[in-house]
């Protein structure tokens, strides 16, 4: 069997590569007319007839395999590997921060077996490749997990909260958690509820581009996160990512008020019904207001890390079958988060199913599927009827945070009324006293 078998190439592309005696990892020169491209052959996935190479710039390019394409193997090539640089000397006068790795793009590199990005770097690697951290803080590293964020579950949030608590109890000045961006906002909300009465900041950080790409945001995000963890005057769970698509500033968002809003932009995270806690620019930390819990190393952390798995999210849409609600009731769910339309509505056809759910002691809460604004179920009779059925309004909490808080509340008590009381209590800034205007547009024409 050829070394190319299983690499994803077929048809004309496979024929040309075989004729040139190529294997994945070899250095190729691809020429068509007066254009030449050089790079490392990597596997391809999906349909298509292009030959994929990684150029010296770090970017991948696909060249269509046609009769006029010349393929030349110019070197055997070694598949890229990564070795951690030696750790810089630490300054004992600087703040002491723990970087905890869970996986994700910020801790990822290209896997030349598949051509995809995989989680490969430890927290120690992150420190080694960002030597600027030595000028900001003393850094210890710890690996909590090494998995993609979409694979994290409620028990992982609990374990992570316990690990963070253990670090804080050692007297460190702050914790940074390297995390995949896909579900980082869920984890930031979970830790906001699980880690109460924080004495120091806990900052989650991710990256939209893996660290071997020229456009990677991993280093700048990490520097901003460590700066905030070590020196910020607040003691809250935050999330640090690019403020704009440029490298100018890193925004630190409140953990219960932040959402991933774009699949690939570096400024994907935005505050929802709130403004950032802080910004880091040119290693200078600025705070727009004093609306935060102040840092106090003497404060005793209160750990409440339990989350219920018996919670479901139901997104309302025109024609939603109420049997979906009945299904979750029959499955033994203890809580249901309704993602309603507008001010917090679902159709009247769902009322009987909701009534049966609340009668069985299931906590049913309402958040809006609109991104900004707040639920107000007193405006229309639909909302008033839902309140009468026992549905809990989540005001300006958006669905992701509302879902996590419902899981957390039901993880603290078996009593539905006590869970409802917790759900209505402002624990970590998840409720705002008033809705703030969001005047600027998130995104304009085109991609970054």
Q: Is 182 annotated in the active site? A: yes
Q: Is 181 annotated in the active site? A: yes
Please choose, from the candidates 42, 186, 8, 52, the residue with its C-alpha nearest in 3D space to the C-alpha of residue 110: 42
Q: What are phi and psi of 171, to 5 degrees?
A: 90, 20
Please choose, from the candidates 178, 100, 176, the residue with its C-alpha nearest in 3D space to the C-alpha of residue 141: 100
Catalytic member of 227, 260, 279, 405:
260
d(CA 111, CA 271): 33
Please choose, from the candidates 159, 153, 163, the residue with its C-alpha nearest in 3D space to the C-alpha of residue 100: 163
Indicate the burial class of 349 (C-beta count within 10 angstroms; 0-12, 13-18, 19 or more): exposed
d(CA 431, CA 425): 8
Catalytic member of 105, 187, 256, 268:
105
Which value, in Å, is the radius of gyration of the alpha carbons in the chain? Answer: 25
Q: Give the pair of three-digit tokens for residue 318.
A: 């025109």
d(CA 325, CA 443): 35
Please choose, from the candidates 79, 72, 49, 73, the residue with its C-alpha nearest in 3D space to the C-alpha of residue 62: 49
Contact between residue 74 and residue 28 where contact means Cβ atoms under 8 Å apart: yes
Q: Is 396 annotated in the active site? A: no
Catalytic member of 102, 181, 187, 382:
181
d(CA 149, CA 405): 19
Q: Give the pair of three-digit tokens for residue 164.
A: 């963070």
Catalytic member of 111, 182, 326, 385:
182
d(CA 299, CA 422): 22
Start-to-end CA distance of the chain, whole Å, equals 42
Q: State the DSSP string of 276-302.
A: -SEEEETTEEE-S-S-SPBP-TTSPPE
Q: Is 125 annotated in the active site? A: no
- Residue positions annotated with a catalytic role: 105, 181-182, 260
């Amino acid at each position: 069997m050829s070394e190319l078998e299983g690499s994803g190439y077929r048809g004309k592309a496979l024929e040309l590569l075989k004729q040139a005696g190529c294997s994945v990892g070899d250095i190729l020169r691809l020429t068509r007319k007066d254009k030449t491209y050089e790079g490392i052959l990597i596997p391809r996935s999906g349909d298509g007839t292009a030959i994929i190479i990684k150029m010296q710039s770090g970017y991948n390019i696909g060249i269509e395999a046609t009769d006029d394409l010349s393929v030349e193997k110019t070197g055997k090539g070694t598949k890229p590997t990564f070795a951690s640089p030696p750790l810089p000397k630490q300054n004992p006068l600087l703040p002491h921060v723990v970087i905890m790795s869970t996986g994700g793009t910020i801790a990822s590199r290209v896997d030349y077996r598949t051509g995809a990005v995989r989680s490969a770097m430890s927290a120690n690697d992150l420190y080694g490749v960002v030597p600027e951290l030595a000028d900001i803080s003393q850094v210890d590293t710890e690996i909590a997990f090494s998995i993609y964020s979409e694979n994290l579950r409620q028990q992982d949030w609990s374990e992570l909260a316990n690990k963070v608590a253990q670090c804080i109890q050692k007297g460190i000045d702050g914790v940074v958690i390297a995390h995949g961006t896909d579900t980082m906002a869920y984890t930031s909300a979970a830790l906001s509820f699980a880690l109460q009465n924080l004495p120091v900041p806990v900052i989650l950080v991710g990256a939209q581009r893996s660290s071997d790409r020229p456009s990677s945001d991993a280093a700048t995000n990490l520097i901003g996160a460590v700066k905030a963890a070590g020196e910020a005057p607040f003691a809250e769970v935050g999330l640090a990512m690019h403020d704009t698509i440029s490298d100018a500033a890193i925004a630190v968002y409140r953990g219960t008020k932040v959402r991933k809003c774009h699949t690939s932009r570096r400024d994907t995270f935005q505050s929802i019904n709130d403004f950032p806690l802080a910004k880091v620019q040119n290693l200078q930390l600025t705070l727009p207001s004093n609306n935060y819990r102040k840092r106090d190393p003497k404060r005793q952390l209160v750990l409440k890390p339990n989350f219920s798995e018996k919670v479901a999210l139901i997104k309302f849409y025109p024609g939603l079958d109420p049997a979906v609600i009945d299904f979750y009731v029959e499955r033994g769910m203890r809580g249901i988060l309704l993602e309603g339309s507008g001010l917090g509505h679902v159709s009247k056809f769902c009322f009987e199913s909701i009534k049966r759910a609340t009668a069985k002691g299931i906590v049913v809460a309402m958040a809006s599927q609109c991104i900004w604004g707040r639920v107000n179920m007193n405006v229309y009779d639909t909302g008033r009827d839902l309140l009468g059925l026992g549905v809990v309004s989540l005001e300006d909490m958006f669905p992701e945070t509302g879902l996590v808080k419902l899981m957390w509340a039901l993880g603290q008590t078996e009593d539905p009324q006590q869970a409802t009381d917790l759900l209505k209590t402002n624990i970590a800034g998840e409720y705002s006293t008033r809705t703030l205007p969001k005047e600027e547009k998130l995104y304009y024409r085109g991609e970054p």
